């Protein structure tokens, strides 16, 4: 029997409770789950890749999942999955807009390697509205992000906001 190796890729800028939910649930579907922390300059990251990597690694360690590891990558997702020996790509979905984009990406990935399956996990209903982009925006405008991220991530985001400076009329 072949080992099921899954990849859960993302920028995780920052890692949210929604990401943690997908990691926890995804880890039950595969023998080994690799969290791929990638670069994506088009997303205008708040944290550098190495900072996000450390953040994700700390959060995963706090979950106590023994079959999960964190790996950084800057490559085509399918190439990264092949290099890791993965046969599953796990993607989290929040809304219909996510599905349309992810459906297209899954189709393209299948064209590149039909041996790698994409599995979609719906975020827990209570976590569906959470998006890293919105967490950063709320923090930058002085809002409370404690419901969306762990206390450690919240502290890191707020420290970064201090460096960047608050925005808006608060």
Active site positions, annotated: 19, 43, 94, 132
DSSP labels, the chain: ----EEEEEE--TT--HHHHHHHHHHTTTSSEEEEEEE--GGG--SS-HHHHHHHHHHHHHHHT-TTEEEEEE-S-HHHHHHHHT--EEEEEE-SHHHHHHHHHHHHHHHHH-TTSEEEEEEPPGGGTT--HHHHHHHHHTT---TTTS-HHHHHHHHHHHHHH---S--
**pLDDT tens digits along 67-79:** 999 999 999 999 9
**pLDDT tens digits along 6-65:** 999 999 999 999 999 999 999 999 999 999 999 876 778 999 999 999 999 999 999 999
**pLDDT tens digits along 160-169:** 999 999 998 7
């Amino acid at each position: 029997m072949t080992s099921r190796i899954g990849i859960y890729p993302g920028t995780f800028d920052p890692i949210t409770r929604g990401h943690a939910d997908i990691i926890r649930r995804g880890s039950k579907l595969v023998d080994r789950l690799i969290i791929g922390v990638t670069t994506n300059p088009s997303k205008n990251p708040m944290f550098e890749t190495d900072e996000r990597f450390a953040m994700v690694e700390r959060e995963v360690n706090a979950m106590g999942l023994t079959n999960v590891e964190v790996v950084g990558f800057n490559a085509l997702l399918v190439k990264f999955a092949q290099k890791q020996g993965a046969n599953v790509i796990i993607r989290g979905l929040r809304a219909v807009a996510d599905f349309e984009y992810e459906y297209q990406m899954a189709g393209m990935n299948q064209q590149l390697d039909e041996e790698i399956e994409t599995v979609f996990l719906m975020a827990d209903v209570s976590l569906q509205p959470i998006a890293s982009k919105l967490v950063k925006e709320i923090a930058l405008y002085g809002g409370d992000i404690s419901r969306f991220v762990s206390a450690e991530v919240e502290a890191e985001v707020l420290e970064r906001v201090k460096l960047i400076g608050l925005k808006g009329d608060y």
